[in-house]
């Protein structure tokens, strides 16, 4: 409408130059011009999942033999389970985008689950995925993937570096980004209980379609509560013959039911009563069948 108004305004000026000189004796007052406020254009907000004007480091993953990123290009029973987990997550009605991966206690396999869930999500060509290590006290993602510890999340929260400088784009999976925990000598609670943490979370939501957060165990430290408050949902990881029953039940009570996405069992052995013994060979056998 502003262009039309300017056109009409310029047209009226030309018309006045021709008519008004012959009417000067009548001293017809000129009509007062209406004041119009021009609304500035809204800033362009990037579509979630698109890294706009960002040039983070691109580094190769040097996978640890203890906890590797699964070779999703080869059919296997384990990789298929992570694909199933990805499908269930994507199809949830409330569409969680920032997901906390936690566990009742240590060594339950939450980091393995976080790494491979992020890897499975990154296979989708229409979504950029961030794997975020928020377990400051026992950060291991950088070691398992062969990446430098710093700069990382703690450096961003302390104002030592920009977010762009801390992000890592993986060479093997172009849609997978990683933000390590970084080095810090102060209590992690002081980093997370701040407006800077909220600002970083808001910025990450604009850049990535999915954010998988490796968290400390539930109720172990105060860090967990501050992290899960910024997430859309929580996935608990338990390990048979390792996770203590009382800790698992306590963790289920600590997580709000509105945020609990589900429980993942890590390291489950084949059940000896499984009826179809040919199921795995049918889907995952490397042999070629005519």
Over residues 64-83, the pLDDT tens digits come to: 776 667 777 677 888 889 99
Quote the tokens at residue 59: 């580094």
Q: What is the mean pLDDT of the chain?
A: 80
Alpha-carbon 171 to chain mean position: 18
Domain span including residue 103: 57-265
Residue 96 covered by a domain: yes
Separation CA 226–CA 198 (nearest Å): 10
Q: What is the pLDDT of residues 171-194, one digit of tens each?
A: 999 999 999 999 988 899 999 999
Domain-located, residue 213: yes
Task: With respect to residue 3, please indicate whether it lies within any of the assigned structural domains.
Answer: no
Instruction: Tell me the pLDDT band of 196, cut-offs 50, 70 and 90.
Output: very high
- Percent of the chain beyond pLDDT 70? 72
Say how many domains are in the chain.
Answer: 1
pLDDT at 24 over 70: no
User: Which CATH number do you get for residue 237?
Assistant: 3.40.50.300
**Would you say residue 19 has pLDDT above 70?**
no
DSSP string, 245-266: HHHHHHHHHHS-TTTEEEEEE-
Residue 268 has pLDDT above 80, yes or no: yes
12 within some domain: no
Tell which residue, 173, 104, 113, 167, has the closest CA to residue 140: 113
What is the reported pLDDT for 78? 85
> Would you state the structure tokens that stand for residue 208, as one six-digit string?
């990535």
Residue 145 domain-assigned?
Answer: yes
pLDDT of residue 259: 93
Query: Which range has the worst mean pLDDT, 56-60, 172-176, 252-256, 266-270?
Result: 266-270
Given a cut of 50, whether residue 22 has pLDDT beyond it is no
Residue 151 within a domain: yes
**pLDDT for 48:** 52
Please indicate, yes or no, whether the overall pTM of this predicted structure exceeds 0.75: yes
Residue 97 within a domain: yes
Q: Residue 204: name the closest of 157, 243, 250 by CA.
A: 157
Vertex 70, ends 155 and 270: CA angle to 5°? 125
Judge whether residue 212 has pLDDT over 70: yes
């Amino acid at each position: 409408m502003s262009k039309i108004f300017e056109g009409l305004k310029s047209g009226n000026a030309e018309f006045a130059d021709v008519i008004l000189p012959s009417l000067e004796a009548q001293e017809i007052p000129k009509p007062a011009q209406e004041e119009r406020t021009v609304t500035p254009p809204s800033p362009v907000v990037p579509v979630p999942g698109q890294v706009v004007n960002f040039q983070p480091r691109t580094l190769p993953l040097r996978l640890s033999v203890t906890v590797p990123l699964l070779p999703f290009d080869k059919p296997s029973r384990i990789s298929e389970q992570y694909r199933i987990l990805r499908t269930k997550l994507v199809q949830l009605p409330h569409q969680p985008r920032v997901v906390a991966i936690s566990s009742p206690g240590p060594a339950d396999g939450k980091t393995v689950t976080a790494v491979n869930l992020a890897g499975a999500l990154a296979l989708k060509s229409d979504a950029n995925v961030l794997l975020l290590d928020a377990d400051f006290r026992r950060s291991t993602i950088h070691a398992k993937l062969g990446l430098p510890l710093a700069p990382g999340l703690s450096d961003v929260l302390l104002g030592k570096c920009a977010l762009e400088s801390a992000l890592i784009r993986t060479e093997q999976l172009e849609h997978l980004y990683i933000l390590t925990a970084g080095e810090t000598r102060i209590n992690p609670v002081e980093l997370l209980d701040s407006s800077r943490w909220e600002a970083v979370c808001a910025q990450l939501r604009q850049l990535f379609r999915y954010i998988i957060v490796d968290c400390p165990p539930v109720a172990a430290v105060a860090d967990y509560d501050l992290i899960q408050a910024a997430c859309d949902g929580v996935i608990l990881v338990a390990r048979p013959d390792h996770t203590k029953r009382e800790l698992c039940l306590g963790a289920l009570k600590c997580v709000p039911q509105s945020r609990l996405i589900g429980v993942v069992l890590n390291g489950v052995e084949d059940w000896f009563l499984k009826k179809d013994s040919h199921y795995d060979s049918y889907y995952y056998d490397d042999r070629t069948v005519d």
